[in-house]
Structure 1
């Protein structure tokens, strides 16, 4: 059974009108306990071609259909998770594809996958990882669930070049006890607006929390396996293991500039 929760924008809309009796009763519903509240924040900037966007979306669809993910949810202390999925590009482009949803059975996970498959993909300009993190934090704060853990899952193919510094957004999430993991997409040779070693950038500048990790995607065929591995690990809170796809990001020191994306954009565009 799937239960929809109040999303950030639903709350904003509801605040504009007096609550009716049923609305007031729903608003008074105690937060639901879940093992993890998980925000899936997915890059849809123009640096990714349509084929890559389709592969990226399909990775999440197949992950929610997978037996491994269903088993990971069932093995949790509570046996259910809350998940929302949004797509982002620049700071002014953020689109919630699926609002907060409770998943506690294979059927509800598969239904979530089907809803993702039916939703159109929108695209936007520039790359604001910081904006994506800030929205994800807001969604977690307004989720109306009581999670044992709160996790933001960021996927993207470039460095932050719009909005506030990514480290400021990352640190604000960390200070609220929110973990961030990353799925850097590294299919193309770096161009003028890209950076080499995007996985290292994600490790140094984006992810945070105990056991934080990135899983770089370097080949198209890796989308499904990498996405499923990442989600199962986040849901099950698996300890660090020898999986070849996973790069743990703990105490490696600063290796890249976290303002590299902004600098490249400014040098090229002059603003």
Structure 2
């Protein structure tokens, strides 16, 4: 955590602490993007192009302009088994198409690469600290996590989520099901019950590669506007809640590394 704190302090020049200042942006938004080894390079490129398309789309700019203050602050990083620190894009204000293009161009210039492991928990902890250290004060603070697998390394995802929610940070999710894995729990259920949280939080599933850009755009528009997606009608079913440690249990020896309060 000290390395994370030092990196964020160096990037922003301010210590990690909450602020009671009046909002100067409608939204502080962190995009935390999964680049774990379960993605092949084709999927990684589809994901990158989806974010670039969404950031440059006129609907995204119009949603920002429609806010009370007409401006948001945004940051970005990629993660796998740990956060890829060189991928971090420092906070930037976006209030018009020129600002959005500047941010998108910085992202487009970053190399694309995947790494081993899937630590949603590390992404949540890093993203929450990034928001806490932001030089801006947002009326809303949102951490946006995309991923294609459950947490299988690092702290338990439930404890990381609880830490972020206690700081007043909302976590939204983008569950990537383009290549469904043979797991006992579907990834969209896992994200809905174990990852997202906070007032107005939501999860958007992506089932096809060609739908990725539209899903990212929908998610950004909802986050900027503060609206919720339309509810999906599902037949009633009696199912037990998701075991949020099930991803960790797929990793031999993981539970032996946990503190006693996290090891059932």
TM range (shorter): 0.7 to 0.9
From 234, 243, 251, the equivalent of 2:223 is 234
From 98, 108, 113, the equivalent of 1:107 is 98
Query: Are 2:247 and 1:256 equivalent residues in the alignment?
Result: no
From 166, 170, 174, the equivalent of 1:179 is 170
Question: Structure 1 residue 232: deviation in Å?
Answer: 0.7
Offset from partner CA, 1:168-227 (integer Å, 9 cap, x none):
010111111100000011111315xx5541000000000001221111110011110000
Aligned residue number for residue 155 of structure 1 = 146
**TM-score under structure 1 normalisation?**
0.82
Distance in 1, matches of 2:240 and 2:198, equals 16
Aligned residue number for residue 128 of structure 1 = 119
Where structure 1 has 5 or more consecutive residues not aligned to the other structure, the ranges are 1-6, 16-29
- For the 8 Å contact 1:42–1:88, the answer to whether it is kept is yes
Distance in 2, matches of 1:123 and 1:227, equals 20
Aligned residue number for residue 251 of structure 2 = 265
Distance in 2, matches of 1:190 and 1:52, equals 15
Distance in 2, matches of 1:14 and 1:263, equals 37
Aligned residue number for residue 54 of structure 1 = 45
Distance in 2, matches of 1:45 and 1:161, equals 11
Aligned residue number for residue 216 of structure 1 = 205
Moved over 6 A (4+): none
Distance in 1, matches of 2:43 and 2:188, equals 18
Where structure 2 has 5 or more consecutive residues not aligned to the other structure, the ranges are 14-20, 258-264
3-state DSSP of counterpart to 2:251:
helix
**TM-score under structure 2 normalisation?**
0.84
Query: Are 2:69 and 1:88 equivalent residues in the alignment?
Result: no
Moved more, 90-99 or 48-57: 90-99
3-state DSSP of counterpart to 1:265:
coil
Task: Return closer, same or farther for 1:205/1:70 CA change in 2, 3 Å cut-off.
Answer: same
- For the 8 Å contact 2:36–2:118, the answer to whether it is kept is yes
